[in-house]
Structure 1
Amino acid sequence: MRRPVNAAQGHRRSAAGTLVRSRARQGWARVRRAGVPVLLASLAAAIAYAVAAYGLGHAFPFFAPVSAWVALGFTADRQPRRVAELAVGVAVGVLAGDLLVHVIGTGPVQIAVVLAVAALTARFVDRGDLLTTQAGVQAIVIVVLPAARSGGPLDRWTDALVGGVVALLVAALSPQDPRRRVRSLAEEGVAEIAGVLRFLATGLAGGGQADVEEALVRGRASQPVLDQWRTAAGSARQAARVSPAFRRHGPELEALEGAAVLADRAMRNTRVLVRRGVLVVAGGLHDGPPGADGERSPAPDGAEHDLTALAALVDDVRRGAEELAAALGAGATPTLARARLAAAAERADPWTVAPDDWHVQGLVLLLRSLVVDLEEAAGMDPGDARAHLPEM
């Protein structure tokens, strides 16, 4: 049965609103994580400018704040090697550009020559890709930007050095725990799973198709957070491996990286569960005889299925996910989350939840996989997590 035009338009508006809210929620989360790093980088740029302008007497210290900002960036990933790599890259590019432009002038051919020399020099200095990239970019800027507008040739290189030194000092005086950003992303990622389950439980309890469909839209919109969590955890773990100051955090970061993979799997299972739930709530899996076109006609929303017990079970899993999100964000052992998820798993018996409705039983089977994924993300052994499920 086709959905009425007005209903379809209303669904599209609701889906669009859910997507906008999800993007806005994720955007504000990124702003919160980037707040302190951005303020520190902005302060470093201002200090570098002041040192070059008032301390060295440079009239146009353009590259001092540029070097400081590029080296620090707007993320919390401020390992000394990375900051030094970017700062040296800027300085190499500016120096190569200054020297060559003074000899050969500016123009299209000169851009090619200066860029090649700066990039190859950076590759000789260090193996870092960031260093080479920044050397090339700054060399291009030097060729295009007239010296008269930014000071003398060596002034620009000196400004780049000032900015790099300031950036290194800021990075050294404000060390960033690599676990902080990963914990924040972990909390946000698992909270997204809990949010989807909340809408699903509400829709199942009230037979509201709109809530279940909103859960599906929200689940699809959450994937970038989970991807970012996994990437950030991997980067932080690698950085901790080579950093004596943070090497002791390696086991936790490795656990968070593993939890990211499991949470991603849990979200995928959640979306499968929600898609199936949409059909059940909408009556799209009617047991009556097929119509003339061979398709089964849908029943009224939720009329033929008793979803009360399933809704309560989904809500229990949601509570466990919320506890897990809080524990991951705080860097604490998720003891309460494990207990809640284990209790929910023990009640995930299709024959108990829906003795005579195989459609609802199918939803319970899907929920069983989701609970096991969340239990493993909470640090449970896979065998112990599966042992909590009732035997089939």
Structure 2
Amino acid sequence: MYPLASLRITVVCGILLAADWVKEGGAEEISEPSNSVNITIPSLPPPVVLVQPDFIPVGANYSVYCQAARHFPNMTLSLYYRELQSASPEELQLLGSLTLEGTDTVIRARLPKIAAGERVEYSCRMEVIYSQRLYRSPFSAPATATAEEAPVRLVSQFQGPVCAGKLQMFAKGSWAPVCQDRNQGPSDRDAVALVVCRQLRCGDVHQVNPTSSSPAHRGELFMGPVECSGKEANLRECSIKGLESSCYKGRVLEIVCSDFLPLPTLSVLGYGGASSVYVYEKHELEISCTLSPQGKTDAAFELEVRGQTIFTGPAMHPGQSVSWRLDPPVSPGEYKCYAVVYGFDYRTKSSASNSVIVTTGPWFPPSPGLIVGALITILIGVGILVYMCVCRKRKEESE
């Protein structure tokens, strides 16, 4: 060793490659490298915190996980929380700590039912004892548990109606289409639709169709799959898997509730609201179908007899009607009309109107005037006969 020398250390990525003694002053003289020594600089990576499920409806239980990047001996994971309801959230509070045994790297906290409006932020950190020294990791990135009110809506091309369209649920700050699994059958879809129509106060289920997700849906989040019994008051009370990044393997539900398509009314000109009429085989008949004023949108009409469509009418506004003139010979049978709405992925047809049974025959029914005249004549004749009988009886008694 030189009497006046300094130590030059070469370190790459925290590893000492070599140490050389360098003579001070004059020409540089370097000794042979010493043996290599590894120097470990402690740096614990932060753990990861995760809230499951990612969608938590009001009143549901949930779990919070804290997971270390890898296993360390003598490792302790600590979970912290703070409530976010106030404008200035408090500092993180310790929820609990656990020293892991064996090769475990995860701790889990099961939390009770989350209340409406509740928002809680969670974070965790790791502590490791090594060579009688305590090392702490930075805090993990936070994860938030939010109580979702999860309102629903039906979206369509029609302005104003809320009782028909593709089903969406509001979660994580945005509206997400509800995606159902392809394996779910009609009864499963009907149960979901029943809950939605009840929640929106739109009556019963009229029609529910599984439709493919449109290109406009790509890149957005989807809710589901959803499983309901049909007795729930709100869709959030059903079993909901959570948010998904696509609906490639599923179908978006399109629901039409009964209040969207009120029943049309069928009537026959000259017969008022009669449920059955007789038509002379050589006479024509005029039938009218009226859309209820409480209708939510315009609708076309179809007239059926014996289950076969015989006429269609143009789209009309709620409260308007369309009439059909049936030339002789009029087909006998049960007549009904329907309101038809175009604009959904599937053709939407209302329930049937009231029915009118039409019968035809070769005899010509007398006019109401003739019938009234005949009745008056009969009554006069009966009155005369009664008068004659009374007079004769009185005459006989007087004799």
TM interval, short-chain normalised: under 0.3
Higher strand share: 2
TM-score by length of 2: 0.23
Quick check: which has more Rg, 1 or 2? 2
TM-score by length of 1: 0.24
Larger relative contact order (Cα-Cα within 8 Å, sequence gap ≥ 6) = 1
